[in-house]
Structure 1
């Protein structure tokens, strides 16, 4: 990993303001088909995001990241738990969700799929203003949003269509469409996954600048821990519907405690040593293993290290609790807690 993690807001002092977004015990379960067991896509998650903070949610495909992100915006209704925004519980009536989505906006990973090819850039960005009946000068608002997203002079882009833009420009239009409502939170699902490497850095720099200039908070969903290192203040590592490790990005990514986090980091090009190969695919969320849900793929258990630490039976049979929301480093791993007792009190 090159560079260093951005210096984010510190929240250790008593009397700090409450999180902008708070998730408590969140569950999202999808019914099984033809009598099959229900899929526990999100299976108990606590997560906080504070004003002006960027949190990266990382993990393999299929671990529940996108379902969690969509549930935070009310696009998927949770089957249990609570989402709170600015101290108030999220309500799922049409009027309440519409008001909420003025303040919390989604940025999708594929601008080609999220931009209407028959609409001009102006109409794409203005759509949110029209849906929410925002007062004021529409042209000025659209121009300001495009300029903040790095499309300058904005008027040059008003009458263009998506196919006339580069991939990076299309992603900036998507971001401008979110910014035009002046939100307080962005939920960005793989925001640079479809972009060339040369453009990825520009979009990440834009998100950091928006945090600085506008005080925006963001949840960035990604499978790329290198991206998390370069943009996030905190990171939450997700596996099979749960957060298994969380904390300040520099702590989690330079001294990972969970074997899953270590495996994800080991495949980065600059990582020392050989990559850690996880056996098999993540288990079906309809059939979550007993004990630690990672134990069927865990290299620490397979190597005998968990046995030597005296926790192998716990790994196979004793479920780990949901990690608390908050800022401190935490890990859901019997072996990590046994091997690092000094850190046990923090998770």
Structure 2
């Protein structure tokens, strides 16, 4: 009698490449106003080869968080670590760090010096880091990987001679030339025509598959997150309010804020949710759930019916844990609803 083979053990999750732990970033208030809490308690983890989308409205703190992860802003408290090593803010250590972590900016026209040729723009990082290999070959390889082929054809061109999509590819080549392990892309396709956006997103996916490149994509566009990300973290007023695998978060959003962001997408199949007012001032974060003043669930009476309306107004929610493979949400109403679905009273 033969026995069935033992089930293969599930591989252990890869150790995070980049982590943020209890991250807070405050800026001094103007005219004796309280400090602005731009990032107000964030735990975040990014695995090797993973694409994480950081999503939220303008002013929610996502760009400040990204700048902190790049070492461009020093946290008020908390820690950023890369490959399990806390970030060192000495100039020498940051220079070495930025060889491994590169930034792709939103506007390629603003990122490229109009007086520099494509070759010089891509070679700039090599020269800053005193690359001792074959510079011409490295520039050619980076341009080729970014989809500008044959690369030599672009060496002596200037930014004004290129299309918007080609300029963005030059910016990507400049990030790739140093062989980074992680890129932080801040609204990487926001300034491009719709016909070109898909090409750039496909390029980022191909680079992940070919090079094992990790990416943090900062965006206000949940549609972009759906097309490119493995996981998504939704940020509101300095804190992540929902996170998880992209399919879970975007097909079964739990937080009312995520639901509102999704409802305005074309073909969302949802009644559009119009959020009242602007996000609160980060120097005056409200008590309780920081979203409660704009929450349609609270305004409609659903939170009251669920017995959590007062908690929404008064009880602060915990910081979501980093890197969980399960969907997580910081919302009294969503948490209560999940417990009821599981039969937990």
- Counterpart contact for 1:26–1:44, Cα < 8 Å: yes
- Counterpart contact for 1:337–1:343, Cα < 8 Å: no
Whole-angstrom CA distance in 1 between matches of 2:13 and 2:62? 28
Whole-angstrom CA distance in 2 between matches of 1:103 and 1:273? 41
1:115 equivalent among 101, 112, 116: 112
Whole-angstrom CA distance in 2 between matches of 1:341 and 1:14? 30
- How big is the shift at 1:34? 2.1
Deviation by residue 1:184-222 (Cα, 9 ceiling, x = unmatched):
000000000000000000000000000000000000000
Aligned to 1:325: 322
How does the TM-score come out when normalised to structure 2? 0.95
Answering whether residue 193 of structure 2 is matched by residue 196 of structure 1, we say: yes
Aligned to 2:208: 211
Deviation by residue 1:204-245 (Cα, 9 ceiling, x = unmatched):
000000000000000000001000000000000000000000
Whole-angstrom CA distance in 2 between matches of 1:131 and 1:142? 14
- Counterpart contact for 2:143–2:151, Cα < 8 Å: yes
Whole-angstrom CA distance in 2 between matches of 1:328 and 1:75? 31
- Counterpart contact for 2:14–2:48, Cα < 8 Å: no
Deviation by residue 1:102-141 (Cα, 9 ceiling, x = unmatched):
0000000000111000100000000000001112000000
- How big is the shift at 1:13? 4.4
Deviation by residue 1:260-286 (Cα, 9 ceiling, x = unmatched):
000000000111132100100000101
- How big is the shift at 1:340? 1.2
Whole-angstrom CA distance in 2 between matches of 1:279 and 1:331? 21
- SS of the residue 2:98 aligns to: helix
Q: Mark the runs of 5 or more structure 1 residues left unpaired by the alignment.
A: 1-11
Aligned to 1:141: 138
2:253 equivalent among 244, 252, 256: 256
Aligned to 1:338: 336
1:295 equivalent among 265, 271, 292: 292
- Counterpart contact for 1:235–1:252, Cα < 8 Å: yes
Q: Between Structure 1 and Structure 2, whose CA radius of gyration is higher?
A: 2
- SS of the residue 1:340 aligns to: helix
Whole-angstrom CA distance in 1 between matches of 2:207 and 2:341? 35
Displaced runs of 4 or more, over 6 A? none
Deviation by residue 1:283-341 (Cα, 9 ceiling, x = unmatched):
01010000000000000000000000000010000000100001321000000001111
- How big is the shift at 1:342? 6.5
- Counterpart contact for 1:32–1:38, Cα < 8 Å: yes
Aligned to 2:4: none
How does the TM-score come out when normalised to structure 1? 0.94
- Evaluate the alpha carbon distance shift between residue 343 and residue 246 of structure 1 in structure 2; reply closer, same or farther with a 3 A threshold: farther
- Evaluate the alpha carbon distance shift between residue 343 and residue 93 of structure 1 in structure 2; reply closer, same or farther with a 3 A threshold: farther
- How big is the shift at 1:343? 7.7
